[in-house]
């Protein structure tokens, strides 16, 4: 049984749409897989399958019109749904970690025909476009990034001259700060990405903010990606501070109010740095700390999910 992980956009939220690079990685902490629920009644099965029959109809219509980019055995997918196929997933919705992306990836991964090596930039670009077309059923539009990460299950560098490029994540031993961790902080708030994307783009229309972003946030994002990929833990901690400081000063609307004091404490000290993760407004925050055990008492009642030992 193949497992499809969630995805985590580490760096480049919003700024990737204005010219910066972005780094996205698989997040196996959350995942989904196909299963058969054969003992359920029709009503209960319909609840478990949710939009899957409609998704199959969407793919079938594109295929019939000669517009489906990926080669998929839609008939086999429909038959499996009739036999009780469901997508079992613990990926939270409204958190920006790829719940619909994992589903689109799973359909292509298990019902795709002639899936081959997409290692070169041209192949990756086509795969991203094909998966974007599939995921568009759930959101109206899709960049294809989420399902691409879920499908390849490899870190991807996006934007800039590279376009779409598979990269390697350094091992823990390459990061020199003892006891440090990157972690997700669960806000407990589901949100839709579109209002926050529109908010950021609206602010970018203002010359003052656009210049601050160009001279402050974008260089910090690029430097954070470079530090992460180089295994430079100290440099990464510094860039997390720069990104978090910019976001707290100019994009505070994207940070849930109950986390403002912890965010400010992180900027004032050397234990914790926080940044927006994904669109903002809820979902997860991404954090980095030099000592996770020392940090926990400072965030009582908040769910901390370690993702990388740095």
pLDDT at 44 (0 to 100): 73
In tens, the pLDDT along 198-212 reads 999 999 999 999 999
pLDDT category at 71 given cuts 50, 70, 90 is very high
**Most confident option among 124-128, 231-235, 285-289:** 285-289
Share of the chain above pLDDT 90, in %: 70
pLDDT at 150 (0 to 100): 95
In tens, the pLDDT along 146-161 reads 999 999 999 999 887 7
8 A C-beta contact, residue 224 and residue 310? no
pLDDT at 61 (0 to 100): 97
Same domain membership, residue 187 and residue 100:
no
Same domain membership, residue 305 and residue 193:
yes
Same domain membership, residue 65 and residue 32:
yes
Same domain membership, residue 202 and residue 158:
no
Rounded to two decimals, the pTM is 0.89
Span 218-229, mean pLDDT? 95
Span 232-250, mean pLDDT? 96
Last-in-domain residue among 121, 144, 166: 166
Same domain membership, residue 84 and residue 223:
no
pLDDT at 193 (0 to 100): 85
Query: Max CA-CA distance within the chain?
Result: 60
Nearest to 301 by CA among 256, 259, 260: 259
pLDDT category at 100 given cuts 50, 70, 90 is very high
Domain that holds residue 88: 4-166
Same domain membership, residue 254 and residue 227:
yes
Span 305-310, mean pLDDT? 84
pLDDT category at 176 given cuts 50, 70, 90 is low
Nearest to 127 by CA among 146, 100, 110: 146
Span 259-284, mean pLDDT? 94
Span 154-176, mean pLDDT? 78
pLDDT at 38 (0 to 100): 76
Residue 247: CATH number of its domain: 3.30.70.890
Distance CA 216, CA 233 (A): 20
Encoding tokens for residue 268?
């004032």
Report long-range pairs for 209-212 (Cβ below 8 Å, ≥24 apart). Answer: 209/250, 212/246, 212/250
Contacts of 88 (CB under 8 A, 6+ apart): 32, 33, 34, 35
Same domain membership, residue 161 and residue 18:
yes
pLDDT at 125 (0 to 100): 87
Same domain membership, residue 214 and residue 136:
no
Total domain count, the chain: 2
Residue 56: CATH number of its domain: 3.30.230.10
Encoding tokens for residue 89?
């997933």
Same domain membership, residue 84 and residue 15:
yes
SS (H, E, C) the chain: CCCEEEEEEEECCCHHHHCCCEEEEEEEEEEEEEEECCCCCHHHHHHHHCCHHHHHHHHHHHHHCCCCCCCECHHHHHHHHHCCEEEEECCCCCCCCCHHHHHHHHHHHHHECCCCCCCCHHHHHHHHHHHHHHHHHHHCCCCCHHHHHHHHCCCEEEEHHHEEEECCCCCHHHCCCCCCEEEEEECCCCCCHHHHHHHHHHHHCCHHHHHHHHHHHHHHHHHHHHHHHHCCHHHHHHHHHHHHHHHHHHCHHHCCHHHHHHHHHHHHCCCEEEEECCCCCCCEEEEEECCHHHHHHHCCCCEEEEEEEC
Residue written as token pair 């004091």: 261
Same domain membership, residue 287 and residue 216:
yes
Polymer length of the chain: 310
Same domain membership, residue 240 and residue 140:
no
pLDDT category at 87 given cuts 50, 70, 90 is very high
pLDDT at 309 (0 to 100): 76
Q: What is the mean pLDDT of the chain?
A: 90
Q: Looking at the predicted structure, is the pLDDT value of residue 173 above 60?
A: no
Q: Looking at the predicted structure, is the pLDDT value of residue 82 above 70?
A: yes
Contacts of 168 (CB under 8 A, 6+ apart): 155, 229
């Amino acid at each position: 049984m193949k497992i499809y992980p969630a995805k985590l956009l580490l760096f480049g939220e919003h700024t990737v749409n204005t010219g910066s690079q972005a780094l996205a990685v698989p997040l196996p902490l959350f995942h989904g897989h196909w299963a058969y629920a054969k003992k359920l009644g029709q009503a209960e099965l319909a609840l478990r399958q949710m939009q899957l029959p409609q998704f199959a109809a969407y793919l079938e219509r594109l295929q019939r019109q000669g517009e489906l980019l990926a080669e998929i055995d839609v008939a086999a997918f429909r038959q499996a749904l009739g036999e009780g196929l469901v997508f079992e997933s613990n990926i939270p919705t409204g958190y920006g970690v790829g719940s619909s992306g994992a589903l689109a990836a799973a359909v292509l991964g298990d019902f795709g025909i002639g899936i081959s090596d997409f290692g070169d930039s041209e192949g990756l670009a086509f795969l991203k476009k094909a998966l974007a077309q599939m995921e568009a059923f759930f959101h109206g539009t899709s960049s294809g990034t989420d399902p691409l990460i879920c499908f390849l299950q490899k870190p991807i560098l996006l934007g800039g001259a590279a376009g779409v490029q598979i990269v390697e994540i350094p091992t823990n031993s390459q990061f020199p700060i003892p006891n440090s961790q990157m972690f997700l902080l669960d806000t407990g708030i589901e949100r839709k990405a579109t209002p926050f994307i529109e908010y950021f783009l609206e602010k970018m229309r203002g010359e003052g903010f656009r210049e601050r972003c160009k001279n402050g946030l974008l260089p910090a994002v690029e430097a954070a990606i470079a530090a992460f990929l180089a295994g430079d833990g100290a440099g990464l901690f510094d860039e997390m501070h720069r990104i978090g400081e910019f976001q707290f000063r100019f994009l505070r609307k994207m940070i849930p109010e109950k986390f403002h004091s912890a965010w400010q404490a992180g900027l004032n000290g050397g234990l914790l740095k926080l940044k927006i993760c994904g669109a903002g407004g809820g979902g997860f925050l991404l954090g980095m700390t030099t000592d996770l055990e020392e940090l926990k008492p400072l965030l009582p009642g908040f769910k901390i999910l370690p993702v990388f030992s740095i």
